[in-house]
Structure 1
Amino acid sequence: MIKIIDYGMGNLRSVQKSFEKVGYQAEITNKKEEILNADGVVLPGVGAFKDAMENIQKLDLIDTIHQVVKEGKPFLGICLGFQLLFSESTEFGYTKGLDIISGSVKKFPDNLGLKIPHMGWNQLNLKQDNQIYDGLTDGEFQYFVHSYYVETEDKDVIGATTDYGIEFVSSIVKDNVYGAQFHPEKSSDKGLQVLKNFGKIVEMEEE
Protein backbone atom coordinates (compact mmCIF):
# COMPACT_ATOMS: atom_id res chain seq x y z
CA MET A 1 0.00 0.00 0.00
CA ILE A 2 1.24 3.46 -0.94
CA LYS A 3 0.40 6.28 1.47
CA ILE A 4 0.24 9.93 0.35
CA ILE A 5 0.99 12.30 3.22
CA ASP A 6 -1.70 14.94 3.75
CA TYR A 7 -0.17 17.98 5.42
CA GLY A 8 -2.58 20.53 4.00
CA MET A 9 -0.58 21.63 0.94
CA GLY A 10 -2.68 20.69 -2.06
CA ASN A 11 -2.93 18.44 -5.15
CA LEU A 12 -3.19 15.17 -3.21
CA ARG A 13 -6.21 13.78 -5.01
CA SER A 14 -4.64 14.21 -8.46
CA VAL A 15 -1.59 12.25 -7.30
CA GLN A 16 -3.82 9.55 -5.84
CA LYS A 17 -5.87 9.27 -9.05
CA SER A 18 -2.69 9.07 -11.14
CA PHE A 19 -1.41 6.13 -9.10
CA GLU A 20 -4.78 4.42 -9.53
CA LYS A 21 -4.59 5.02 -13.27
CA VAL A 22 -1.31 3.09 -13.49
CA GLY A 23 -2.64 0.25 -11.34
CA TYR A 24 -1.50 1.09 -7.80
CA GLN A 25 -3.71 1.70 -4.81
CA ALA A 26 -2.77 4.83 -2.87
CA GLU A 27 -4.42 6.33 0.20
CA ILE A 28 -4.24 9.87 1.55
CA THR A 29 -3.49 10.12 5.27
CA ASN A 30 -1.83 12.18 8.00
CA LYS A 31 -1.91 9.41 10.60
CA LYS A 32 1.50 8.35 11.88
CA GLU A 33 0.65 4.67 12.21
CA GLU A 34 -0.64 4.43 8.64
CA ILE A 35 2.43 6.18 7.25
CA LEU A 36 4.78 3.95 9.26
CA ASN A 37 2.96 0.82 8.11
CA ALA A 38 2.96 1.82 4.44
CA ASP A 39 4.96 -0.09 1.84
CA GLY A 40 5.82 3.18 0.08
CA VAL A 41 5.27 6.84 0.95
CA VAL A 42 4.69 9.93 -1.20
CA LEU A 43 5.14 13.55 -0.09
CA PRO A 44 3.54 15.82 -2.71
CA GLY A 45 2.60 19.48 -2.28
CA VAL A 46 2.32 22.97 -3.72
CA GLY A 47 2.82 26.28 -1.93
CA ALA A 48 5.35 27.86 0.41
CA PHE A 49 8.20 25.90 2.01
CA LYS A 50 7.82 27.64 5.40
CA ASP A 51 4.07 26.90 5.64
CA ALA A 52 4.71 23.29 4.64
CA MET A 53 7.34 22.69 7.33
CA GLU A 54 5.11 24.33 9.95
CA ASN A 55 2.22 22.06 8.96
CA ILE A 56 4.38 18.93 9.07
CA GLN A 57 5.67 19.97 12.49
CA LYS A 58 2.15 20.62 13.81
CA LEU A 59 1.14 17.12 12.71
CA ASP A 60 4.26 15.77 14.47
CA LEU A 61 5.32 13.96 11.29
CA ILE A 62 8.99 14.96 11.01
CA ASP A 63 10.28 11.97 12.99
CA THR A 64 7.77 9.73 11.21
CA ILE A 65 9.13 10.73 7.79
CA HIS A 66 12.72 10.20 8.96
CA GLN A 67 11.81 6.77 10.33
CA VAL A 68 10.19 5.69 7.05
CA VAL A 69 13.32 6.74 5.15
CA LYS A 70 15.65 5.09 7.70
CA GLU A 71 13.72 1.82 7.41
CA GLY A 72 14.46 1.80 3.68
CA LYS A 73 10.89 2.15 2.45
CA PRO A 74 10.54 3.76 -0.99
CA PHE A 75 9.86 7.47 -0.51
CA LEU A 76 8.91 9.93 -3.27
CA GLY A 77 8.85 13.73 -2.93
CA ILE A 78 6.99 15.70 -5.62
CA CYS A 79 7.39 19.46 -6.31
CA LEU A 80 7.21 21.16 -2.89
CA GLY A 81 7.55 17.71 -1.31
CA PHE A 82 10.78 17.29 -3.29
CA GLN A 83 12.15 20.60 -1.98
CA LEU A 84 11.26 19.70 1.62
CA LEU A 85 13.68 16.76 1.45
CA PHE A 86 16.59 19.21 1.51
CA SER A 87 18.39 20.94 4.38
CA GLU A 88 17.01 24.47 4.10
CA SER A 89 15.13 27.07 2.08
CA THR A 90 15.62 30.80 1.62
CA GLU A 91 11.95 31.35 0.71
CA PHE A 92 10.52 34.10 2.99
CA GLY A 93 13.68 33.98 5.11
CA TYR A 94 15.54 30.93 6.38
CA THR A 95 13.57 27.74 7.05
CA LYS A 96 15.05 24.39 8.03
CA GLY A 97 13.92 21.49 5.85
CA LEU A 98 13.71 17.76 6.54
CA ASP A 99 17.46 17.54 5.86
CA ILE A 100 17.23 14.06 4.35
CA ILE A 101 19.42 15.32 1.50
CA SER A 102 22.08 18.01 1.83
CA GLY A 103 21.22 21.13 -0.14
CA SER A 104 19.37 24.45 -0.30
CA VAL A 105 16.21 25.72 -1.97
CA LYS A 106 16.80 29.07 -3.69
CA LYS A 107 14.82 31.49 -5.84
CA PHE A 108 15.54 31.71 -9.54
CA PRO A 109 17.74 34.78 -10.16
CA ASP A 110 15.82 37.85 -11.34
CA ASN A 111 18.50 38.66 -13.91
CA LEU A 112 17.73 35.66 -16.12
CA GLY A 113 15.16 37.64 -18.10
CA LEU A 114 12.76 34.72 -17.87
CA LYS A 115 9.26 34.43 -16.46
CA ILE A 116 9.08 33.36 -12.83
CA PRO A 117 7.51 30.99 -11.88
CA HIS A 118 9.01 28.50 -14.27
CA MET A 119 5.76 27.10 -15.62
CA GLY A 120 5.09 24.62 -18.38
CA TRP A 121 6.82 21.76 -20.19
CA ASN A 122 10.57 21.37 -20.01
CA GLN A 123 13.14 18.65 -20.58
CA LEU A 124 14.94 16.28 -18.24
CA ASN A 125 18.67 15.78 -18.72
CA LEU A 126 18.99 12.29 -17.23
CA LYS A 127 22.13 11.79 -15.12
CA GLN A 128 21.45 8.36 -13.63
CA ASP A 129 20.34 5.00 -14.92
CA ASN A 130 17.77 4.14 -12.27
CA GLN A 131 14.51 2.17 -12.24
CA ILE A 132 12.55 5.34 -11.42
CA TYR A 133 13.40 6.56 -14.96
CA ASP A 134 12.58 3.32 -16.80
CA GLY A 135 10.77 4.07 -20.06
CA LEU A 136 12.04 7.66 -20.17
CA THR A 137 14.61 8.90 -22.65
CA ASP A 138 17.09 11.74 -22.21
CA GLY A 139 15.33 14.98 -23.14
CA GLU A 140 11.91 13.75 -21.99
CA PHE A 141 9.42 16.56 -21.31
CA GLN A 142 7.70 16.93 -17.92
CA TYR A 143 5.45 19.65 -16.50
CA PHE A 144 6.87 22.22 -14.04
CA VAL A 145 5.40 24.96 -11.83
CA HIS A 146 7.89 26.52 -9.37
CA SER A 147 9.71 29.74 -8.47
CA TYR A 148 12.42 28.09 -6.37
CA TYR A 149 14.95 25.43 -7.29
CA VAL A 150 17.26 23.04 -5.44
CA GLU A 151 21.02 23.37 -5.24
CA THR A 152 23.16 20.54 -3.84
CA GLU A 153 26.88 19.84 -3.69
CA ASP A 154 26.16 16.11 -3.46
CA LYS A 155 26.43 15.33 -7.16
CA ASP A 156 25.84 11.61 -6.54
CA VAL A 157 22.15 12.19 -5.72
CA ILE A 158 21.35 14.11 -8.93
CA GLY A 159 19.09 11.98 -11.12
CA ALA A 160 18.19 14.67 -13.65
CA THR A 161 18.69 18.35 -14.35
CA THR A 162 16.67 20.86 -16.36
CA ASP A 163 17.68 24.08 -18.09
CA TYR A 164 15.81 27.31 -17.40
CA GLY A 165 18.30 30.14 -17.62
CA ILE A 166 20.43 28.02 -15.32
CA GLU A 167 20.83 24.26 -15.07
CA PHE A 168 18.97 23.16 -11.94
CA VAL A 169 18.36 19.82 -10.20
CA SER A 170 14.96 18.51 -11.30
CA SER A 171 15.13 14.99 -9.86
CA ILE A 172 17.14 13.10 -7.25
CA VAL A 173 17.80 9.50 -6.27
CA LYS A 174 19.43 8.58 -2.97
CA ASP A 175 19.07 4.95 -1.90
CA ASN A 176 15.31 4.54 -1.25
CA VAL A 177 14.54 8.26 -1.63
CA TYR A 178 13.33 9.69 -4.94
CA GLY A 179 12.38 13.25 -5.80
CA ALA A 180 10.86 15.17 -8.69
CA GLN A 181 10.66 18.94 -9.01
CA PHE A 182 8.23 18.39 -11.89
CA HIS A 183 4.65 17.13 -11.53
CA PRO A 184 4.48 13.54 -12.86
CA GLU A 185 0.72 13.53 -12.20
CA LYS A 186 0.35 16.43 -14.69
CA SER A 187 2.90 15.21 -17.24
CA SER A 188 0.82 12.89 -19.43
CA ASP A 189 2.03 9.34 -20.18
CA LYS A 190 5.70 9.96 -19.41
CA GLY A 191 4.85 11.47 -16.05
CA LEU A 192 2.57 8.57 -15.24
CA GLN A 193 5.48 6.29 -16.16
CA VAL A 194 7.46 7.75 -13.23
CA LEU A 195 4.61 6.95 -10.82
CA LYS A 196 4.28 3.46 -12.32
CA ASN A 197 8.02 2.93 -11.84
CA PHE A 198 7.73 4.02 -8.20
CA GLY A 199 4.87 1.56 -7.75
CA LYS A 200 7.06 -1.22 -9.15
CA ILE A 201 9.88 -0.28 -6.75
CA VAL A 202 7.40 -0.51 -3.85
CA GLU A 203 6.27 -3.94 -5.07
CA MET A 204 9.86 -5.17 -5.24
CA GLU A 205 10.48 -4.05 -1.64
CA GLU A 206 7.40 -5.98 -0.51
CA GLU A 207 8.65 -9.27 -1.95
Structure 2
Amino acid sequence: MLLIIDYGVGNLGSILNMFKRVGASALISSRPEDVRAADKLVLPGIGAFDNVMTQFRASGLEQDLIKKVLEERRPVLGICVGMQMLGNGSEEGRESGFGWLDAHCERIPDAPGLRVPHMGWNHVTAVKPHPLTATLADDARFYFAHSYRMVCKDPADALLVANHGSEIVSAVQRENVYGVQFHPEKSHRFGMELFRQFAAL
Protein backbone atom coordinates (compact mmCIF):
# COMPACT_ATOMS: atom_id res chain seq x y z
CA MET A 1 0.00 0.00 0.00
CA LEU A 2 1.17 3.51 -0.88
CA LEU A 3 0.26 5.98 1.85
CA ILE A 4 -0.09 9.74 1.40
CA ILE A 5 0.44 11.11 4.90
CA ASP A 6 -2.30 13.49 6.00
CA TYR A 7 -1.08 15.92 8.65
CA GLY A 8 -3.16 18.84 7.41
CA VAL A 9 -0.71 20.08 4.74
CA GLY A 10 -0.48 19.57 0.97
CA ASN A 11 -2.52 18.87 -2.16
CA LEU A 12 -3.66 15.50 -0.86
CA GLY A 13 -6.59 14.94 -3.20
CA SER A 14 -4.61 15.90 -6.28
CA ILE A 15 -1.75 13.59 -5.31
CA LEU A 16 -4.14 10.70 -4.69
CA ASN A 17 -5.92 11.24 -8.01
CA MET A 18 -2.62 11.24 -9.89
CA PHE A 19 -1.54 7.96 -8.31
CA LYS A 20 -4.94 6.43 -9.13
CA ARG A 21 -4.54 7.51 -12.76
CA VAL A 22 -1.35 5.45 -13.02
CA GLY A 23 -3.01 2.43 -11.44
CA ALA A 24 -1.37 2.64 -8.02
CA SER A 25 -3.19 1.52 -4.88
CA ALA A 26 -2.95 4.61 -2.67
CA LEU A 27 -4.58 5.91 0.50
CA ILE A 28 -4.71 9.23 2.34
CA SER A 29 -4.53 8.76 6.08
CA SER A 30 -3.44 10.34 9.35
CA ARG A 31 -3.70 7.09 11.32
CA PRO A 32 -0.48 5.70 12.85
CA GLU A 33 -1.55 2.14 12.04
CA ASP A 34 -1.71 3.04 8.33
CA VAL A 35 1.77 4.53 8.47
CA ARG A 36 3.01 1.33 10.09
CA ALA A 37 1.34 -0.81 7.39
CA ALA A 38 2.51 1.19 4.37
CA ASP A 39 4.93 -0.13 1.76
CA LYS A 40 5.70 3.35 0.38
CA LEU A 41 5.03 6.78 1.83
CA VAL A 42 4.45 10.24 0.37
CA LEU A 43 5.18 13.29 2.51
CA PRO A 44 3.50 16.41 1.10
CA GLY A 45 4.34 19.92 2.21
CA ILE A 46 3.19 23.45 1.38
CA GLY A 47 3.97 26.70 3.19
CA ALA A 48 6.66 27.94 5.56
CA PHE A 49 9.22 25.39 6.76
CA ASP A 50 8.73 25.89 10.51
CA ASN A 51 4.95 25.71 10.26
CA VAL A 52 5.10 22.50 8.25
CA MET A 53 7.60 20.81 10.60
CA THR A 54 5.64 21.91 13.68
CA GLN A 55 2.38 20.66 12.24
CA PHE A 56 3.90 17.32 11.30
CA ARG A 57 5.44 16.80 14.72
CA ALA A 58 2.11 17.68 16.34
CA SER A 59 0.47 14.91 14.30
CA GLY A 60 2.16 12.24 16.41
CA LEU A 61 3.35 10.36 13.33
CA GLU A 62 7.06 11.19 13.46
CA GLN A 63 8.31 8.10 15.28
CA ASP A 64 6.27 5.75 13.08
CA LEU A 65 7.62 7.48 9.97
CA ILE A 66 11.21 7.32 11.24
CA LYS A 67 10.84 3.59 11.87
CA LYS A 68 9.46 2.99 8.37
CA VAL A 69 12.22 4.98 6.68
CA LEU A 70 15.30 4.23 8.79
CA GLU A 71 14.60 0.73 10.12
CA GLU A 72 12.33 -0.87 7.52
CA ARG A 73 13.94 1.08 4.64
CA ARG A 74 10.63 1.80 2.96
CA PRO A 75 10.67 4.36 0.12
CA VAL A 76 9.50 7.83 1.09
CA LEU A 77 8.86 10.70 -1.34
CA GLY A 78 8.83 14.27 -0.04
CA ILE A 79 7.04 16.83 -2.22
CA CYS A 80 7.87 20.56 -2.22
CA VAL A 81 8.43 21.51 1.45
CA GLY A 82 8.16 17.77 2.06
CA MET A 83 11.49 17.46 0.25
CA GLN A 84 13.00 20.23 2.36
CA MET A 85 11.89 18.38 5.50
CA LEU A 86 14.24 15.52 4.55
CA GLY A 87 17.32 17.69 5.21
CA ASN A 88 18.78 19.30 8.31
CA GLY A 89 16.77 22.51 8.26
CA SER A 90 16.15 25.77 6.44
CA GLU A 91 17.24 29.35 6.85
CA GLU A 92 13.53 30.14 6.48
CA GLY A 93 13.05 29.06 10.08
CA ARG A 94 14.53 27.53 13.22
CA GLU A 95 12.99 24.05 13.30
CA SER A 96 15.18 21.06 12.50
CA GLY A 97 14.37 18.75 9.62
CA PHE A 98 14.62 14.97 9.73
CA GLY A 99 18.30 14.98 8.77
CA TRP A 100 17.97 12.01 6.39
CA LEU A 101 19.92 14.04 3.85
CA ASP A 102 22.94 16.15 4.75
CA ALA A 103 21.42 19.25 3.22
CA HIS A 104 20.20 22.70 4.18
CA CYS A 105 17.74 25.04 2.48
CA GLU A 106 18.58 28.60 1.58
CA ARG A 107 16.69 31.39 -0.15
CA ILE A 108 16.99 31.36 -3.92
CA PRO A 109 19.39 34.17 -4.91
CA ASP A 110 17.97 37.13 -6.77
CA ALA A 111 18.87 37.23 -10.45
CA PRO A 112 18.31 39.94 -13.10
CA GLY A 113 14.92 39.57 -14.75
CA LEU A 114 13.84 36.63 -12.59
CA ARG A 115 11.44 36.70 -9.69
CA VAL A 116 11.58 34.92 -6.37
CA PRO A 117 9.52 32.89 -5.61
CA HIS A 118 10.41 30.55 -8.44
CA MET A 119 6.89 29.94 -9.67
CA GLY A 120 5.71 28.23 -12.84
CA TRP A 121 6.98 25.66 -15.29
CA ASN A 122 10.66 24.84 -15.65
CA HIS A 123 12.68 22.19 -17.44
CA VAL A 124 14.74 19.72 -15.41
CA THR A 125 17.93 17.84 -16.21
CA ALA A 126 19.03 14.51 -14.77
CA VAL A 127 22.41 14.57 -13.03
CA LYS A 128 22.57 10.85 -12.27
CA PRO A 129 20.74 7.78 -13.57
CA HIS A 130 17.98 6.30 -11.46
CA PRO A 131 14.82 4.24 -12.13
CA LEU A 132 12.64 7.04 -10.70
CA THR A 133 13.59 9.38 -13.54
CA ALA A 134 14.82 6.98 -16.22
CA THR A 135 11.64 7.20 -18.31
CA LEU A 136 11.23 10.99 -18.19
CA ALA A 137 11.24 12.62 -21.61
CA ASP A 138 14.16 14.85 -22.57
CA ASP A 139 11.79 17.83 -22.56
CA ALA A 140 10.40 17.02 -19.09
CA ARG A 141 9.21 20.08 -17.22
CA PHE A 142 7.49 20.49 -13.90
CA TYR A 143 5.51 23.08 -11.97
CA PHE A 144 7.44 24.85 -9.20
CA ALA A 145 6.29 27.21 -6.42
CA HIS A 146 9.03 27.94 -3.87
CA SER A 147 11.42 30.60 -2.55
CA TYR A 148 13.98 28.29 -0.91
CA ARG A 149 16.23 25.70 -2.53
CA MET A 150 17.98 22.67 -1.10
CA VAL A 151 21.79 22.64 -1.08
CA CYS A 152 23.18 19.11 -0.72
CA LYS A 153 26.52 18.69 1.03
CA ASP A 154 27.05 15.55 -1.07
CA PRO A 155 26.36 16.35 -4.76
CA ALA A 156 25.60 12.65 -5.31
CA ASP A 157 22.28 13.18 -3.49
CA ALA A 158 20.98 15.39 -6.34
CA LEU A 159 18.88 13.59 -8.93
CA LEU A 160 17.40 16.39 -11.06
CA VAL A 161 18.32 20.05 -11.38
CA ALA A 162 16.69 23.11 -12.92
CA ASN A 163 17.93 26.64 -13.49
CA HIS A 164 16.39 29.86 -12.18
CA GLY A 165 19.29 32.26 -12.40
CA SER A 166 21.25 29.67 -10.45
CA GLU A 167 21.05 25.93 -10.06
CA ILE A 168 17.99 24.55 -8.28
CA VAL A 169 18.20 20.98 -6.99
CA SER A 170 14.81 19.75 -8.16
CA ALA A 171 14.90 16.13 -7.00
CA VAL A 172 17.04 14.19 -4.53
CA GLN A 173 17.68 10.54 -3.76
CA ARG A 174 19.72 8.73 -1.16
CA GLU A 175 18.97 5.03 -0.73
CA ASN A 176 15.23 4.83 0.04
CA VAL A 177 14.78 8.59 0.58
CA TYR A 178 13.40 10.61 -2.34
CA GLY A 179 12.28 14.19 -2.72
CA VAL A 180 11.03 16.54 -5.43
CA GLN A 181 10.95 20.31 -5.07
CA PHE A 182 8.30 20.71 -7.76
CA HIS A 183 4.66 19.59 -7.67
CA PRO A 184 4.20 16.38 -9.70
CA GLU A 185 0.47 16.53 -9.02
CA LYS A 186 0.33 19.79 -11.00
CA SER A 187 2.72 18.69 -13.73
CA HIS A 188 0.44 16.74 -16.05
CA ARG A 189 2.01 13.85 -17.97
CA PHE A 190 5.49 14.46 -16.56
CA GLY A 191 4.23 14.29 -12.99
CA MET A 192 2.14 11.26 -13.84
CA GLU A 193 5.21 9.45 -15.16
CA LEU A 194 7.24 10.26 -12.06
CA PHE A 195 4.44 8.97 -9.81
CA ARG A 196 4.19 5.84 -11.95
CA GLN A 197 7.88 5.12 -11.45
CA PHE A 198 7.74 5.80 -7.69
CA ALA A 199 4.82 3.40 -7.34
CA ALA A 200 6.84 0.78 -9.24
CA LEU A 201 9.99 1.04 -7.10
Q: Fold-level match, TM-score > 0.5?
A: yes
Aligned length: 200
Q: TM-score, normalised by structure 2?
A: 0.95
Residue of structure 1 equivalent to 2:73:
72
Give the partner amino acid of 2:143.
Y
* Whole-angstrom CA distance in 2 between matches of 1:57 and 1:80: 14
Q: 2:82 is matched with which residue?
A: 81
Distance 1:126 1:29 in 2: 32
Per-residue deviation, 1:59: 1.3
User: Structure 1, unaligned stretches of length 5 or more?
Assistant: 202-207
The Cα of 1:171 is off from its aligned counterpart by: 0.3
**Against the structure 1 CA distance between its residues 53 and 23, is the aligned structure 2 distance closer, same or farther, given a 3 Å change threshold?**
same
- Gap runs ≥5 in structure 2: none
**Which position in structure 2 is the counterpart of 1:6?**
6
Q: Tell me which stretches of 4 or more aligned residues in structure 1 moved more than 6 Å.
A: none
Moved more, 136-145 or 50-59: 136-145
Which deviations, in whole Å up to 9, do the C-alpha atoms of 1:167-195 show, x marking residues without a partner?
02110111111111111111111110000
User: Percent identical across equivalent pairs?
Assistant: 38
Q: Report the Cα distance in structure 2 between the residues aligned to 1:61 and 1:98, rounded to whole angstroms.
A: 13
TM-score where L is the length of structure 1: 0.92
**Equivalent residues in 2 for 1:103-142, closer than 5 Å:** 103-142=103-142
Alpha-carbon offset, residue 138 of structure 1: 4.1
Shift of 1:148: 0.9
- Equivalent runs, 1:182-201 vs 2, <5 Å: 182-201=182-201
**TM-fit CA distance, 1:63:** 1.8
Letter in 2 for 1:80: V
Q: CA deviation at 1:112?
A: 4.8
Aligned equivalent of 2:146: 146
Aligned-residue offset at 1:144: 0.7
Name whichever structure is richer in helix by fraction.
1
